Amino acid sequence: MERGGRSGGGRRNNRSLSAGGYSGGYSGVTSSSTRHADFPLRILVQSDMVGAIIGRQGSTIRNVTQQTRARVDVHRKDNIGSLEKAITIYGNPENCTNACKKILEVMQQEANNTNKGEICLKILAHNNLIGRIIGKAGNTIKKIMQDTDTKITVSSINDINSFNVERIITVKGSIENMSRAEAQISARLKQSYENDMQVMSPQNMLFPGLHPMGMLSMGSGLAYPAGRPPSYQQAPLYPAGPAPPTSYPPIYTPAPSLVTPFSSSPSDVQETTYLYIPNSTVGAIIGTKGSTIRNMIRFSGASIKIAPLEEDRSNSSVQPTDRKVTIVGTAESQWKVRQNFLYIYVFRKADQSNLVKYPV
C-alpha cells in the first residue's frame, strides 16, 4: 500500500502548523539513510515541552533537522490532554542520536527557564526487543549504565496491554551521557530487530503490507503484547473514530519515502485495502457475538467487513478456504487492524499445534 514518494537529499518537508498542533516534521533524511522507518528512534517528551521543541513557527525543530539531517515528527495532535507526546526521529543512527541530543538540550533549557530541574530521556522500544537490552541477569543494561554513567530503568511488562507493543526505557544523567546511552541502546535495538526480521521474513507473506515491526509480535513476547506503564493504560473503548486519547501514535510509522511531502495531514486520508485470511481464523477474529471485531473497529477507527464464504467462491483465483476482508480507514487504522489480525492468526496456529492456550 504505497503513497506518494519523497525524494532524498535533505529536502524540507513543509508540514503545517495549526490549532490542532504540529502535524509533521522537517526532513533532513537522505535517500541513503539506513534507519528510515524500519527502525526509527522514538522518544517521549512532556507535553509542556512540545512548544519549546517546535519553536515559533517551527523554527527550533527546523534548525534541529537542518543541523542533524534527521527527520523529526512531533506527534503533537495525538493524545489531546495527555501528559506526554511521542516524537519519531528518522535517519541514520548518528543523525538520529544528534537530533535526539539537540532535543534534550532544548528540553533542558526550557526546564531551566521554568525551574523544573533535570530532565530525563524516555525511549520507546518494542517489548520483544527489551530482553536484549536488559540482558541475562541485567548484565547488558548494567554495562550500558557503567559505560555511560547513567541510570536506566525499563517499564514493567505487568503494566502492558494488547493494543500497544512498546515499553519505555528511561535514561537519567547529563545530556552528554544520556546521548551516549541512547546511541548504545539504539544500536542494540536495531541489531536485535534486524536479527529478528531475518528469522521472521517468511511470515511477511502472511499479510502483505503489514509493517515489519508487526512481525515482532510473533516472537516469544506475543503472549504479552506490550506497551506502557499504568499511566498509559488504554481508556474504555470508544465508538468507531479516532483511537482512544491515551494511545500512542502508530508504532514505527510509515517511511518518509512513503509520506506525501507537502500534505499537512496525510493521516486523514481514507484508504481501502483487501486482505485474504484463512477461513479457520474468522471465528476468532469475529469473537463471541462479534465482540472481538467490534473492539478492533472501536480501537482502530476503521471499517472492517468480512465477506461471506459464498462470495469468495465466485472468485476462482482465491482458495475456498480463504475469506476476503475489506478494510476502510486511515493508514494508522489500517495498520492497527492488520496487526490485530496477525496477532489472532498466530495464536490460533499455535493453539492448533498445542503450543499455547489462550482465551478467544
101 pLDDT exceeds 90? yes
C-alpha cell at 268: 486523514
Task: Please compute, for residue 39, the number of CA atoms within 13 A of its CA located in the half-sphere on the CB side.
Answer: 22
241 pLDDT exceeds 80? no
83 pLDDT exceeds 80? yes
47-51, 73-77, 211-215: which is most confident: 47-51
The pLDDT of residue 201: 54
C-beta atoms surrounding 356 within 10 Å = 12
Average pLDDT on 168-181 reads 97
183 pLDDT exceeds 90? yes
The pLDDT of residue 194: 83
| Structure-model confidence comparison of residues 286 and 317, the more confident one | 286
Average pLDDT on 224-232 reads 31
The pLDDT of residue 290: 84
Q: Assign 210 to helix, strand or coil.
A: coil
Q: Assign 9 to helix, strand or coil.
A: coil
The pLDDT of residue 98: 97
C-alpha cell at 152: 536506566
Where helices occur in the chain by DSSP H, the ranges are: 50-54, 59-68, 93-113, 127-134, 139-148, 175-200, 212-215, 282-286, 291-300, 309-313, 331-352
pLDDT digits (tens, 9 = 90+) for 249-283: 444 333 333 333 333 344 567 888 888 888 877 88
Domains annotated for the chain, with CATH where assigned, are 41-198 (3.30.310.210), 271-309+320-354 (3.30.1370.10)
The residue type at 59? S
Average pLDDT on 98-126 reads 94
| pLDDT > 90 in the chain, percent | 31
| CB 118, CB 166: distance < 8 Å | no
DSSP state of 80: T
353 pLDDT exceeds 70? no
Question: Cα–Cα distance between 321 and 291 in angstroms, integer?
Answer: 23
**Nearest of 5, 100, 105, 17 to residue 57 by alpha carbon:** 17
pLDDT category of residue 284 using cuts at 50, 70 and 90 = confident
pTM of whole model > 0.85? no
